[in-house]
Structure 1
């Protein structure tokens, strides 16, 4: 590469990274990061993905994040320490929408660290989505007073763990569960008086749904 071309590329890269500094919506994926997917260079793609996300979050002001979305496809087998660090940096007070979608060829390995949800962070979250990870610390999260939309897709969580989480999320209106195969009995707490959609799909071990919600609205369930 010629010196002039190298200098121009570096300038564009720095401008690209600075453009994320005050973004209220952090949507991190290979598409949003302008990383080309190439099956022949998986290791290089993973390294580039880690580097870009690291730089963006290190350069972000840490203020005003309303939405954080992290999709790791096609970067398989990311070490949990990377994701833990990114979540710790990105989940700030005032966040309203959170999405984490992991990817791996060898099953679910990542355990969502509920410690990142302090009282300030969790009090503002309205939408919470997890995919392809474990959520075993769900009952320890505490009160999610603003949460109205919950989506779990290929998530390891037991019925008891999920019940503990739902009991602290009294504003919930919509619950979507798909392919959560650790749930045998799904109990919906009485306190969920605003719940109007319960959509359950592909939870193959599910034997019973016990709904005690006060809601008088129409509820929907599929299996």
Structure 2
């Protein structure tokens, strides 16, 4: 019996030793793979995992320096200690020290970076460190660059504290290797001095750049000239940027541009030619808007900043600027209740099927014509199928069941395509009731009208106190029996 037990133990130990030898052999074979193969394996790891391989052996320590991504973020460098508001000075010191340590290790490598990311709130006073990191990205011919130094809590921050980004390091002849290699450039809370670049035409600048994202960037010089040399540009986003020239006018066609976003940049004019543009976002005061003949545009979003009434601009200027938008148009604006029920004729959105209106209603609560004229927009969208109308009433509602005859009388021209209408923020004020009646009487194919007293317009001050009264007024003043072909739902 003892011999059998001893025999079993011996066999078990033998199998364990064999398994250990196999594991060691496998590990040894992995270690002896060609460097190119190991680099491919390494590239599939996260940056943190790749850095950890440096402790395996000297070979791995040398190898991880060829990792194709350099990602320096607060979460990556500080972990849980990067809590908002907890010891910001200590966090910044630690972040810079650790980032410098990594950059020193990578500086001796000749590898090309696919991705270079720095995302941490830093200022001009930290320029010595940031310059070192950015220089490494230029020397490594990084293809995708993200330098986001935005403060965590400030809306914009002090422009004088912005780090000056050395764009010349990545522009044409100044770039290592002679040609620019940047395909994607994303900058946040930096200053960009385009006056330091060589004159246009003297060098091939960002010739293969496909995506340019600028957020809270102070731009000195001629942005137009820079964009004109970005022949491969497909994506352009400018948000909360400060431009030295308030007009953004580009006469040369941007043939490959497909996405354009310009938000809160205080422009006085936007004019460009992008024949292949498919998506457009714009938030600004009412300014001249010229986009050329964008026949492929599918989606557009336009926000007309408060407080001026934006109805006339929406009816006369936008159809000229965006005549071909077809899938969806989102329009955010303010209107005054006292405005007359008049609309100037002109161009139309000939192909638009889905319209979303985010409307702030201001003015005298007793007036209603300014709200009722929203129904006139149906004349500008002849093939519209779906209408969303999200409203916010800024003033205390005034309730009245005595509706204007213009809202309840028959309409001469009926809309033939509209099938669904969704109205939110319906507090039951006179203008809203008249608007609902006008829409119901202006359509022949309307399948469903949904009235929701709750607000969808995004404001910090959310007050739903009037939702109950809106539901009551809608129930009392909209007689479902008068519109038998339409399902009317009051939520």
TM-score, normalised via structure 2 length: 0.39
Instruction: Give the equivalent residue in structure 1 for 2:126.
Output: 79
Deviations 1:91-123 (A, max 9, x none): 235421011011346523211112322333762
Mean Cα deviation higher: 55-64 or 144-153:
55-64
| Distance apart, 1:22 and its partner CA | 2.0
In the TM superposition, what whole-angstrom CA distance separates every residue of 1:35-91 from its partner, at most 9, and x where no partner exists?
421434222211111111111011012412111011123x56652111111111222
**Matched residues in 1 for 2:187 and 2:268: separation?**
23
2:184 equivalent to 1:124:
no
Q: Secondary structure at the match of 1:123?
A: coil
Deviations 1:9-28 (A, max 9, x none): xxx79749x58522201111
Q: Give the equivalent residue in structure 1 for 2:235.
A: 174
- Where structure 1 has 5 or more consecutive residues not aligned to the other structure, the ranges are 1-11
Q: What's the C-alpha RMSD, in Å, of the aligned pairs?
A: 2.8
1:22–1:63: 8 Å Cα contact kept in structure 2? yes
Matched, 1:69 2:117: yes
Q: Look up the SS of the partner of 1:79 in the other structure.
A: helix
Q: Give the match's secondary structure for 1:152.
A: strand
Change (3 A) 1:121 1:97: farther
Which of 183, 188, 194 is residue 137 of structure 1 equivalent to? 194
Say whether residues 1:89 and 2:136 are aligned partners: yes
Contact 2:68 2:112 in 1 (8 A): yes
8 Å Cα contact 2:207/2:232 also seen in 1: yes
SS in 2 for 1:33: helix
Within the candidate set 202, 218, 221, 2:278 is matched to 218
Question: Which aligned pairs between 1:15-54 and structure 2 lie closer than 5 A?
Answer: 15=55, 18=61, 21-35=65-79, 36-38=81-83, 39-54=85-100
- Structure-2 separation of matches of 1:28 and 1:44: 17
Higher relative contact order (CA 8 A, sep 6+): 1
Query: Larger % of helix: which?
Result: 2
What is the distance in 2 between the residues matched to 1:103 and 1:217? 29
| C-alpha distance 151-189 of structure 1, shift in aligned 2 (>3 A) | farther
Q: 1:155 aligned to 2:217?
A: yes
User: Moved runs in structure 1, 4+ residues, more than 4 A?
Assistant: 75-78
Q: Quick one: structure 1 residues 169 and 181, their matched pair in 2 at CA, closer, same or farther if it must change by over 3 Å?
A: same
Contact residue 78 and residue 94 of structure 2 kept, 8 A: no
Cα shift at 1:29: 0.7
- How many residue pairs end up in the alignment? 208
Deviation at 1:212, TM superposition (A): 3.0
| Aligned-partner Cα distance in 1 for 2:247–2:187 | 20
Structure whose alpha-carbon radius of gyration is higher: 2
Partners of 1:132 and 1:155 within 8 A in 2? yes
Aligned to 1:7: none
TM-score (norm 1): 0.80
Give 5+ residue unaligned stretches, structure 2. Answer: 1-51, 199-203, 284-491
